[in-house]
Amino acid sequence: MGKNVLLVGASGDIGSSIAEKLAASGYQLILHYNSHEENIEKIKSRVHPSCILMVVQADLRKRAAIEKLISQLVFQVDHIVFASGQAYYGLFQDTSERQMDEMLAVHVKAPWLITQKLLPSMIRNKSGSIVFITSIWGDIGASGEVVYSSVKGAQNSFVKALAKELGPSNISVNAISPGFISTKMNSHLSEEERLEVISEIPLNRAGNPEEIANLVAFLLEGKASYIHGEIIHINGGW
């Protein structure tokens, strides 16, 4: 314990839960966020000050902001958790090229560049973990969320391929693929729509962000060292 974790996307519901869980487990955090600074302040108020090494704001839709984040990583990074993302709802034929570019930047290009920057030191140390929070839609796709499904599927492929490349360096690479989780990302659903989704889930409820955070913490522990290149589904059997 006591190692440093870069948490990309710390201000979201899942990201905030991950931050609090890892801080309670003894990790030191580098917190990235784009918007919702108030959630970063909530994290600060709930964890010991020594657990937060630094906070970096960067809009990962923009290449300059990605470079800004990378340039500010002055602390050693032992683990990386990618929990950032943005949803996009709409028919594929109505999706603009600008929206496509932004979704690719946030979910694919930014993780590529950040990981590429941090890998040399992790490889030298022959230790570390990389964890992505992807989505059930990256596995099975969703009508009305074609672009989001595509970039989450790309994250899953990246995890599987990178795991094969980094296994000899003792760096674990895995993804957590959540199903229906109670977060603001699902707030666009009406109550009727929410209940319809829940009726399809064998456990008959939505998941909560803390359940995702618990799995992240487990993947960073030594006890999970033989879990590698996996897309772990946490979806109540949906």
Q: What does the DSSP assignment read for 125-147?
A: HT--EEEEE--THHHH--TT-HH
Q: Which residues contact 85 (CB under 8 A, 6 or more apart)?
A: 9, 12, 106, 107, 133, 135, 152
Annotation says 148 is catalytic: yes
Q: Which residues contact 93 (CB under 8 A, 6 or more apart)?
A: none
Q: How far does CA 114 lie from the centroid of its chain?
A: 13
Bridge partner residues of 28 (DSSP): 4
Bridge partner residues of 172 (DSSP): 129
Three-state SS string across 53-118, please? EEEEECCCCCHHHHHHHHHCCCCCCCEEEECCCCCCCCCHHHCCHHHHHHHHHHHHHHHHHHHHHH
Determine which one of 27, 33, 89, 148 is catalytic.
148
- Centre a 10 Å sphere on the Cβ of residue 73 and count the other Cβ atoms it contains: 18
Closest CA to 53 of 67, 39, 43: 43
- Please give the torsion angle defined by the CA atoms of residues 109, 112, 118 and 120, in that order, rounded to the nearest 10 degrees: -140
Q: What positions carry a catalytic annotation?
A: 148
